[in-house]
Amino acid sequence: MNAQSATRKTFRREGEDKRREDLIAATLECVAERGLAGATVREIAMRADVTAGLIRYYFPTKDDLISAAYRAVMNRMTVQASDALQNAANDPRARLQAFVTANLGEPIMDPHNLSLWAGFIALVHADPVMAAAHRDGYLGFRDELEILIREALIATGKPAERVHTRRHAIAINAIIDGLWLEGCLARDIFAEGELAETGIIAIEAVLGISLTAEGDAR
Amino acid sequence: MNAQSATRKTFRREGEDKRREDLIAATLECVAERGLAGATVREIAMRADVTAGLIRYYFPTKDDLISAAYRAVMNRMTVQASDALQNAANDPRARLQAFVTANLGEPIMDPHNLSLWAGFIALVHADPVMAAAHRDGYLGFRDELEILIREALIATGKPAERVHTRRHAIAINAIIDGLWLEGCLARDIFAEGELAETGIIAIEAVLGISLTAEGDAR
DNA sequence: CGAGTATTTATACGCTTGCATAATTAGAGC
DNA sequence: GCTCTAATTATGCAAGCGTATAAATACTCG
């Protein structure tokens, strides 16, 4: 009723989960567009259509928000890769192929994912807690891969001893990571699906089996 | 002779090259230890035993210094890998092996290098100039690799058409990058030389040739 | 429908940052 | 040795940062 200047922002009280998700999403937007440095509390708040103070209500410190955002991305990528497995055929070789193809295509192979990942990696070196979290994620991924490899080898009638599957998992993990990296950094210099195909061929060579053919041997 | 309080810092006039090198080295120290965020002009100046203002005398803006530092790192790694080639035997297969081993061992496979690389990668996405610099570096590395691959194939009496060597280069580059990454992130969970050996074996499988044996064929 | 509370806004503080600029000084050249 | 200049220091500023905290308000429950 008085000069109604500086009208206070109207707002809705959202559920705690919704707000956290929105804030994390806004954070990812910022990081994706302008790097970690561009993810300031004020910018994040603006994107989430919220005032800066609210961030501290849900996340004690900005680092907590950042690390939550990182976990969200890693989790999202893991889930997306697993989803591809669920929709895959029963044949172990087809499953391994689906896993590789999923990791080397949209939406996992995306520059934004790399940006956030890289920004976080730079922190891993300093923060032991994050280092542990990262290692767990890496080993989890590799273990999942090793299982796929063993089953594919067995399905082809090949020996699948632990000593070898471990080494294969390390190498194939490297192939996937390396191609993912290349794709994220310069997707435009590769043809559509080229990297996934390259990965499959390389992995077939490493394992000495075919992932596409129906037969047990070549 | 007056109260000599606040005595001005004594200094030496260094050559332009020396100063630039020192500043870049100090920058790399900062980035390696505390990430890109830790590389402030004041901190860099302190490490270089210089006052902050001097940085602007040699680099118009902080970003220029950062990007110069990035180029220095990439260049250093490239040179180190090339050095390994110079000392290698004449046989193309041995040369390829030496190249791989060098990239997957000290001093290239070092957590600090990864920190630096990751910190800069986060910027590449935003800054087109850096993106170009990075792409040049990547393509240069891959071209060098492709030549090694072609020569190794020819030495083994295998066909080495461009279509195939390009694909091989992409895959093998991925193997090297991926293993480098794994090693930098968690060197302690791998045995000494394990990653280099794993890389060699995987690459031999991809190319279908042996890099260690003397014979032309298996 | 009214009171109470959890959620949200608003404001301000102290710090650090990159950058500008004036004052100094080391060292080269005559 | 003097002079001149380029290299270096010292100081300051405006902007943006994360965070703290008090005031306001939307929703819940009786």
Q: Do B118 and A115 touch (CB under 8 A)?
A: no
Interface check for B175 against chain A (CB to CB < 8 A): the answer is yes
Scanning A34-93 for CB atoms below 8 A from B yields: 34-38
pLDDT of residue A132: 76
- CA of B8 vs C1' of D10, distance in Å? 8
Instruction: Say how far residue A26 (Cα) sits from the centre of its chain.
Output: 17
**Residues of A70-79 as b/e, b for ≥16 C-beta within 10 angstroms?**
bebbbeebee
Interface check for B182 against chain A (CB to CB < 8 A): the answer is yes
Query: Which residues have CB under 8 Å from A54's CB, separation 6+?
Result: A19, A45
Residue A99 placed within a domain: yes
- Whether residues A185 and A125 share a domain: the answer is yes
- Whether residues B32 and B85 share a domain: the answer is no
Separation CA A25–CA A22 (nearest Å): 5
Q: How far is A25 from chain B (nearest CA, A)?
A: 18
Task: Name the closest residue on chain B to residue A126, using Cα atoms.
Answer: B34
pLDDT of residue A136: 79
Residue A49 placed within a domain: yes
CA–C1' nearest nucleotide, residue B8: D9
pLDDT of residue A215: 45
Q: How far is A50 from chain B (nearest CA, A)?
A: 25
Separation CA B206–CA A199 (nearest Å): 10
Torsion of CA B131, B126, A79, A125, to 10 degrees: 80
* B4 torsion bin: left (phi>0), alpha (psi -120 to 50), beta (else): left
CB B192 within 8 Å of CB B180: no
Interface check for B126 against chain A (CB to CB < 8 A): the answer is yes
Pair of tokens at residue A215: 């037969």
Separation CA A200–CA A212 (nearest Å): 9
Residue A216 has pLDDT above 50, yes or no: no
pLDDT of residue B109: 94
Task: Name the closest residue on chain B to residue A174, using Cα atoms.
Answer: B178
Query: Which residues have CB under 8 Å from A154's CB, separation 6+?
Result: A92, A160
pLDDT of residue B213: 62
Separation CA B100–CA A175 (nearest Å): 14
- Whether residues A199 and A124 share a domain: the answer is yes
Q: What percent of chain A has pLDDT over 90?
A: 58
Q: Which of residues 17-56 of A touch strand C (CB under 7 A)?
A: 19, 50-54
Residue B213 placed within a domain: no
- CA of B18 vs C1' of C22, distance in Å? 26
- Whether residues B148 and B178 share a domain: the answer is yes
Count of the separate structural domains present in chain A: 2
- Whether residues B101 and B30 share a domain: the answer is no
Scanning A17-36 for CB atoms below 8 A from B yields: 33-36
- Whether residues A147 and A184 share a domain: the answer is yes
- Whether residues B124 and B24 share a domain: the answer is no
Q: Do A202 and B201 touch (CB under 8 A)?
A: no
Interface check for A11 against chain B (CB to CB < 8 A): the answer is no
pLDDT tens-digit map of A114-150:
887 887 787 777 777 677 778 878 888 899 999 999 9
Residue B2 placed within a domain: no
- Whether residues A50 and A144 share a domain: the answer is no
- CA of A112 vs C1' of D12, distance in Å? 39
CATH assignment of the domain containing B17:
1.10.10.60
- Whether residues A42 and A77 share a domain: the answer is no
Residue ranges in chain B modelled with pLDDT below 50: 1-5, 215-218
CB B23 within 8 Å of CB B42: no
CB A65 within 8 Å of CB A20: no
pLDDT of residue B183: 93
Q: Tell me the average pLDDT across A75-91.
A: 87
Q: List CB contacts (< 8 A) between B130 and chain A.
A: none
Pair of tokens at residue A23: 């804030």
- Whether residues A76 and A29 share a domain: the answer is no
Residue B89 placed within a domain: yes
Residue A190 placed within a domain: yes
- CA of A193 vs C1' of D9, distance in Å? 57
Whether B217 CB is under 7 Å from strand D = no
pLDDT tens-digit map of A156-183:
999 999 999 999 999 999 999 999 999 9
Q: Tell me the average pLDDT across A36-51.
A: 95
Separation CA B39–CA B28 (nearest Å): 8
- Whether residues A110 and A152 share a domain: the answer is yes
How many Cα atoms within 13 Å fall on the side-chain side of residue A218?
Answer: 9
pLDDT of residue B2: 38
CATH assignment of the domain containing A196:
1.10.357.10
Residue A1 placed within a domain: no
pLDDT of residue A214: 54
Three-state SS at B161: coil
Provide the domain limits for residue B169.
69-207
Q: Which of residues 59-88 of B touch strand C (CB under 7 A)?
A: 61-63
Q: How far is B38 from chain A (nearest CA, A)?
A: 10
pLDDT of residue A25: 97
- Whether residues B85 and B145 share a domain: the answer is yes
Residue A83 placed within a domain: yes
- Binning chain B into helix, strand and coil, the percentages to the nearest 5 are 70, 0, 30
Whether A11 CB is under 7 Å from strand D = yes
- Residue owning tokens 């270089």: B48
